[in-house]
Structure 1
Amino acid sequence: MPGSLVGGMSDRKKSRAKVAFEVLKDAAKQHGRHFGSRMAAAIAYRTVFAIAPLLVIAVSIAGFVLGGDAAAQEALITNVQEVAGDEMASLAEDILMTALESADTAAVVGVLVLIWTASALFIEVQRDLNQIFHFPRPEEGGIMQTVIQRGLGVLWTLGFGLGLIALFAANTAAQAAGAALSDFLNMPEWVVGILSFFVTFAFVIVVFALIFQSLTRNSLPWRPVWIGAVFTSVAFSAAGYLLGVYFRLFDEPSALGFTGTLVVLLFVAFLLSTVFLFGAQVTQSYRELVWDREDSYVFTDDQGRHLQRDADERRVTVSLTAVGTFLVGLLIGLRRK
């Protein structure tokens, strides 16, 4: 009996490994079929133009919460430095300073232009995700449809700023809690670093899950979304870590001047965009190869729609509303402090 139990557990592990391999293999095939490299190049191109507006918007919202742009700029640059090293932090600071000076020349018009420019990045990401998840493209509706689409992009741009503030708050809370535990239990300082890492990692998983759900035209089942978000977070963190190691060891961009830094920026954006899109494709491959084949939808109504899928869609709406309410409440609470 114990032997058969061990054998059964071994078979299940082999089966899971086989499923994971098949999902990754199918994701790689579909990534090439969808011209994933071309999608990543388009996102990287949009990122180069959107990075300055996104930095300005993030600093503006963070400055509103922290009580000044100087503290927000310092926090933002410090986080970039920890992830990508001194060279990319210096580049981000230069881009931010230039963008802030340009925005000050015409405050209202400048802010609107910045937000409008940054929204193009999210529209591009939405278009690519809809293609990966096989959702139909929105019908062309003329000027009004374009304005609505841009408006949604603007909301996502502002949401990016709120998400960054939530990340700062989560990191600060994790470091404070870790420091308190370290002092109380006489733990080494690396405990604080581990706690902060896991809090950040969990936050990034939630962010990717929300992106997959809310930037696509239709709702997705939550289990494939969470699995894809975990995979994307692991791959994204690994890519970011390797880039950080590279930039700490080599300083070629500074030797090549502006052209070198621009090329490096494009390369970083392309690499991270590729990881993100492949993570989305893993989500879709898992959904098709595993989720859709499971007999989880038993009851259907007269129109042939799945009642369980309808329940999933309702949970999606409730979850997104709850997350949005939490972010707004966090912003107001921090501001009052």
Structure 2
Amino acid sequence: MRASVDILRPIRAFDRFQQSHRWAALPMAVLRKFGNDQAGSLAALVAYYAFFSLFPLLLVMTTILGFVLRGDARVQQAVERSVLGQFPVIGAQIGAHALTGNVVALVIGVLTSMLGGLGVTQAAHNALDRVWAVPFKDRPDFLRSRLRGLLLLACLGVLFILSTALSGLITGLGGTPEKVLGVVISLAVNFVIFLAAFRFLTAATVPTRCLWIGVVFASAFWEILQLVGGIYIGHVYRHFSSTYSQFALVIALIVWLHLGAQLTLYAAEINVVLSRKLYPRSLLGPPEAPADEETLRALAKVEERHETEQVDVHFHT
């Protein structure tokens, strides 16, 4: 009689290993938390709103820069490359008509980008509140959340335009030191933007010191995502006809935005797991690890929607 094979034995062995080694337990805990929060679906919603707000947002930025830099073709070209380089998937498509300085385009772009951008901030607000397990009863009301989103959107938009213009001016001077300085400025701006988003787009009380690691992670990978997007665009133009390349660019933009949203939420999950010590996690269970119970308890209490409502969670062993 042949002995039965325990197909889960290697997984159990790895589970014991990762629970006893912090360097392995942390990424496993982040992955489990990402799945518990259904953060992939939240990232898809953020990417959806970003897809419809990105074009008018670029229109606003490039038109404003067109007004400011009118009359200096060299500076315009340098800034144009820097601004559109932040969005490699569609930047090449806008290039030739970017800096027009048209008043009608600016007005339409501002209104449309405000509506679209507000959708992005609300989706991001909801996602980060979910990641930090903020109960619905503790989240800001309809009016305050949207006013807060508009204020943050305006501040970050101005910061992005000014910093990108400065980066473009420096990079346009030519030379390796100037290009390196441009990249450093871009990284610094990414850092400030992600820090502000992680700090203000959640109702959770989070000390700023608990956000550094996730912010660095998001800033670095955003730069990598831009680089990969630029390489992909070059590949599309070299290997596809004009009809197929346009279709491929649309698909690439959606994928690019979704990846960016996912990386952002992974960075937020890193902050939550580290600050609340939600590791190690059990990969199989039962029995559940203490971090599993704490995570699931907080996730259940998210559904508290009224101040008099209280959700109690019990685990039976």
- If the TM-score is normalised by the length of the shorter chain, which range does it land in? 0.5 to 0.7
Mapped to 2, the partners of 1:203 and 1:140 lie a distance apart of: 28
Distance 1:155 1:95, change over 3 A: farther
Structure 2 CA distance, aligned partners of 1:232 and 1:43? Answer: 15
Quickly say closer, same or farther: Cα 1:253–1:118, change in 2 above 3 A.
farther
Are 1:228 and 1:279, in contact at CA under 8 Å, matched by a contact in 2? yes
Which residue number corresponds to residue 235 of structure 1? Answer: 221
The corresponding residue for 1:121 is 120
Return the letter of the residue paired with 1:162.
V
- In the alignment, the residues of structure 1 paired with residue 138 and residue 75 of structure 2 have an alpha-carbon distance, to the nearest angstrom, of 40
Q: CA RMSD in A?
A: 3.7
**2: distance between equivalents of 1:133 and 1:198?**
30
Aligned to 1:216: 202
Q: Deviations over 1:266-325 (max 9, x none)?
A: 11111111111111111111112289xxxxxxxxxxxxxxxxxxxxxxxxxxxxxxxxxx
- For the structure 1 residues 69 and 25, does the alpha-carbon distance in structure 2 shift closer, same or farther, using more than 3 Å as the test? farther
Aligned to 1:36: 39
1:203 is matched with 189
**Are the equivalent residues in 1 in contact too, given 2:60–2:109 (CA < 8 A)?**
no
Could you say if the C-alpha distance between residues 91 and 43 of structure 1 is closer, same or farther in structure 2, counting changes exceeding 3 Å?
A: farther
Alignment correspondent of 2:16: none
Distance 1:71 1:175, change over 3 A: closer
Q: Mean Cα displacement is larger for which, 192-201 or 209-218? A: 192-201
Can you list the C-alpha shifts for 1:219-243, whole angstroms capped at 9, x where unaligned? 3122221111011112222222222
Alignment partners' CA distance in 1, 2:192 and 2:214: 11
Per-residue deviation, 1:82: 4.0
With 223-232 and 73-82 compared, the bigger mean Cα shift is at: 73-82
Instruction: Confirm or deny that 1:152 pairs with 2:138.
Output: no
* Residue equivalent to 1:321: none
Q: Is the Cα contact below 8 Å between 2:80 and 2:98 reproduced in 1?
A: no
Equivalent position SS for 2:261:
helix
1:58 aligns with 2:61: yes
Moved over 6 A (4+): 68-73, 94-98
**Residues 257 and 288 (structure 1), Cα distance of their counterparts in 2 relative to 1, 3 Å cut:** same
**Greater helix share, structure number:** 1
Return the alpha-carbon distance in structure 2 between the equivalents of residues 156 and 69 of structure 1: 31
* Structure 1 residue ranges without an equivalent (≥5): 1-17, 180-188, 292-337
**Matches of 1:63 and 1:158, distance apart in 2:** 19
1:91 counterpart = 2:93: yes
The TM-score with structure 2 as length reference comes to 0.67
Q: Contact 2:138–2:203 at 8 Å: present in 1 too?
A: no
Aligned residues: 257
* 38 and 97 in structure 1: CA distance in 2 versus 1, 3 angstrom threshold: farther
Give 1:91 deviation, angstroms.
2.9
Q: Could you tell me which residue of structure 2 aligns to residue 190 of structure 1? A: 176
1:104 counterpart = 2:104: yes
CA distance in 2, matches of 1:220, 1:163: 23
Partner of 1:286: 274
Of 236, 251, 259, 1:271 maps to 259
After TM superposition, give the deviation of residue 154 of structure 1 in Å.
2.3
Deviation at 1:139, TM superposition (A): 6.5
- Residue 45 of structure 1: CA displacement? 0.9
The question of whether the paired residues in 1 share the 8 Å contact of 2:191 and 2:219 is answered with yes
> How many Å separate the matches in 2 of 1:29 and 1:95?
45
Taking structure 1 as the reference length, the TM-score comes to: 0.63
Q: Is the 8 A contact 2:80 2:99 kept in 1?
A: no
Q: For 1:179-216, what per-residue CA distance to the aligned partner results, in whole angstroms no more than 9, with x for missing partners?
A: 7xxxxxxxxx3233223222321221122111100111
% same residue: 21
Q: Deviations over 1:62-121 (max 9, x none)?
A: 456546899997556412554565x632334599799x98x828x867743441232111
Among residues 247, 267, 278, which one is paired with 2:233 in the alignment?
247
